[in-house]
Amino acid sequence: LLEKFGITSAAYFLRIIMDGIPPSKDKHLFIKDLRFEKVEVRMYQPKISTAGQRRGVLYFHGGVGWLGSIRAYERICRYFARKTNSVVVSVGYRLAPEHPYPTQFEDCLTATIHFMRTAQDYGVDSSRIIVCGDSSGGTLAAAVAQALVNRRDVPKLRAQILIYPFLQAADFNLPSYQQNEGVPILSKERTLILGLKYLNKDLSALNSILKGSHIPEELRLKYQKWLSPDNIPHEFKSRGYMPSTIQPYSEELHAFTKPFLEPVFSPLLSEDSVIAQLPETFILTCEYDVLRDDGLLYKKRLEDHGIKVTLCHLQEGFHGTIFLAVYGKILSFQSGIKGLQKIT
């Protein structure tokens, strides 16, 4: 309504809401704003003394590339720094539409490489650096991890932590999309609307993309081995699942959605040669989340290549439960509290 009356944009309004009220000063942490080359970051360093170097965690916030901020994720980053005695770097990547995709990925990659090269300056062991993110931040963490596998000028990542990540835009009819299509906070339709806005694309093709008309036959066959519902354990289909029928392919739609299928946007669609080199992985999924099966399918792909994966599935969880968990009793749910503990 505010946007229709010309008062403010939906993005600006939602950013203010998401930022919320900043927490008070933290007596357990040194907190400072820095710039890693052109990227704004906030570093959280525990005040407690330690005999050796700490692990480092780069945190990429969620928000579909056009929401979220360092301030919005202040509580989460403080929590992880305190509870794990780690140096946490919250990356303030630039947001769309002011800074078009893939600026967000480029900023996260730049900040990661800078931190890896300067880790010792902050008391961090460069062999114990982790990338972590939730929702679209999980997409960014996965994409950064993939971009680093063939780099020889920086240390290897120790691990990646992906919290209910979005990992593919090829199939919006997986069991979790069918079972949770109307579940808040992230419905099936809303997922694609946000993705189209992130890429600054028109919404007119929404229904055709949801039906899969953007995937040509040769890619459908290629993706089948990675995206097949057969790769999802049977217990995750118990709430119901109907295999989708193949829709007529549109070459025009495929050209329109080409960025959707790039590994930066859809890390699950990366080639085997990249997947096989990824570090140890922790994936958190929620039962009542359209993105649940993205995490489950990525787990299988990684394990098929011998990568160690820890899965935390929150049976009562929903998309966003980790973000809410640090806001105290009023907003937190047991699923989010359990998830935070497992990540720690």
| CA distance readout (Å), 320 to 186, 249, 285 | 9, 34, 11
Residue 90 designated active-site? no
Question: Residues 80-94, buried b or exposed e (16+ Cβ, 10 A)?
Answer: bbbebebbbbbbbbe
Tokens standing for 281?
């992985």
319 a catalytic residue = yes
Residue of 289, 294, 313, 335 marked catalytic: 289
Give catalytic status of residue 289 as yes or no: yes
Reference 343, options 174, 163, 96; nearest CA is 163
> Is the distance from CB of 260 to CB of 208 less than 8 angstroms?
no
User: Per the residue annotation, which of 86, 135, 176, 213 is the catalytic one?
Assistant: 135
Catalytic residues: 135, 289, 319
